[in-house]
Structure 1
Amino acid sequence: MKKYTYFVFLFVLLTSKSVFAQDDIINQINTPLLQKYVDLAKQNYPKRQMFKSSELSAKAKIGVASATYLEAFNVSYFYRPDNATIINNSNPYSINGFQFGVYLNLGIFLRTPSLVKQAKEEYKAATFQTKEYDLILESEVRQKYYEYLQLFNDLKVKAQAYIDNKASSDGLKYKFEKGEVSLDVYSKAKAITSSAQSEKLLTELNLLKAKDTLETLIGQKLEDVK
């Protein structure tokens, strides 16, 4: 009965540590740092830059469409020297000096407002797409940051649990060699230590993955963000 009580107490102790560590995560959130991560992601993440480039391209098309108004007008001039005769057979209606003419292409002129409106709507749509992706990207950065914090704290708990279990296992090994505890008790202690070590290594791996994902989003190493 004493052996069973010992292992139950050990399990409850380790579980309590994990719960307390998770409860403290919300107090460890660095809001200014998280905002820097979000801003860096909007600045560096390639897919977001693709949306921003599409937005700028759509904006430029408004100017191009507006310039179409100028294509509807054609300005020309004709110059006749002052010493030439006023009327001749080849050009009986010309006069000496400069003559100017302005011509209007009615088709282009009437079509241009529609082109400008279309360009403005395309720019508006591109702007909405950028804003939508900003929301998605910000949410993803926040989630990965929270996941990184959770794994960082979980790793501290798992590392301490492994240290504690190994110390207990080493102590039981000494007692087992002296014949003070049974092989069953010592074997269970070794199994708990091995499990604790595996959990620690798995948490380390997941922490590295979360860190890599967050760095990919923001375009910088976490250590370089101040």
Structure 2
Amino acid sequence: MTIRKLFILMLLSAFCVHANAQDDITSNINTPLLEKYIELAKEYYPKRKMFKASELSAKAKIGVAKASYVESLNASYFYRPDSRSIIDVVNPYSVNGFQFGVNLNLGMFFRTPYLVKQAREEYNSASFQTKEYDILLASEVRQRYYEYLQWQMNLKVKNEAYIDNKTASDGLRFKFEKGEVSLDVYTKAKVLTNSAHSDKLESELNMLRAKEALETLMGKKLEEVK
């Protein structure tokens, strides 16, 4: 077997494995699981919690603004014993018993509807910001999930290519020991095997990075999500 034929054979083997594995990437997308990842990210990710807290705070301000209606009213009462005389310099009321009064702060009363409207608009704004971030966060989770699947499948490809190359290299080693192939042929096969092993390790590292990036959004290991 010539070096050229050996090289072509090993490349074709790796290419076939790569092509077959690529066909399975789309079918490996687990939509229900992906939706769980998105919901977990919404529950865990700190920045999303910040937007949600701002939304709830703005909602609470609506109630505070409505309470201004009550603050614009001031009710009071006074009690004068029946035994007191009608004319009293210290307590100059003309009626004995309970007396009630209500004061209305017109400025605050007419300002309150505008305060309520302002509070509602601030709540709507905060709510829209939360919804916008939910969309962006969901998109980020999907992108990281797809990237994780890509590197997971890539690792499978590289691993199979490494196994094929190693199998071929081991076979040539036995032939080399028997004197059936030259040292140059065996050395070339070892170089291809080492290169395939290096590619496998690089893919594994990228897969782990993609996995960690996805887990960072959810606050959980992928193995913990079922």
Task: Judge same fold: TM > 0.5, yes or no.
Answer: yes
Which amino acid letter does the alignment assign opposite residue 180 of structure 1?
E
Match of 1:17 in 2: 17
CA drift of 1:47 comes to 1.2
Matching of residues 1-226 of structure 1 within 5 Å: 2-226=2-226
Q: Is the 8 A contact 2:165 2:192 kept in 1?
A: yes
CA drift of 1:157 comes to 1.6
Q: TM-score, normalised by structure 1?
A: 0.94
Which amino acid letter does the alignment assign opposite residue 74 of structure 2?
N
Q: Is the 8 A contact 1:87 1:95 kept in 2?
A: no
| CA distance, structure 1, for counterparts of residue 94 and residue 37 of structure 2 | 73
Question: Residue 99 of structure 1 aligns to a residue in which SS?
Answer: strand
Structure 1 stretch displaced more, 190-199 or 86-95? 86-95
CA drift of 1:2 comes to 4.5
Which amino acid letter does the alignment assign opposite residue 164 of structure 2?
D
RMSD of the TM alignment (CA)?
A: 1.6
| CA distance, structure 2, for counterparts of residue 95 and residue 22 of structure 1 | 96
| CA distance, structure 1, for counterparts of residue 162 and residue 156 of structure 2 | 10
Deviations 1:179-209 (A, max 9, x none): 3222322221111111111111111111111
Q: Is the 8 A contact 1:59 1:123 kept in 2?
A: yes
Which amino acid letter does the alignment assign opposite residue 192 of structure 2?
I
- Structure showing greater relative contact order (alpha-carbon pairs closer than 8 Å, 6 or more residues apart): 2
| CA distance, structure 2, for counterparts of residue 22 and residue 81 of structure 1 | 96
Question: Residue 15 of structure 2 aligns to a residue in which SS?
Answer: helix
CA drift of 1:159 comes to 1.1
Deviations 1:110-145 (A, max 9, x none): 221221111111111110111011111111111111
Structure 1 stretch displaced more, 215-224 or 125-134? 215-224
Identity %: 65
| CA distance, structure 2, for counterparts of residue 74 and residue 94 of structure 1 | 23
Q: Is the 8 A contact 1:38 1:141 kept in 2?
A: yes
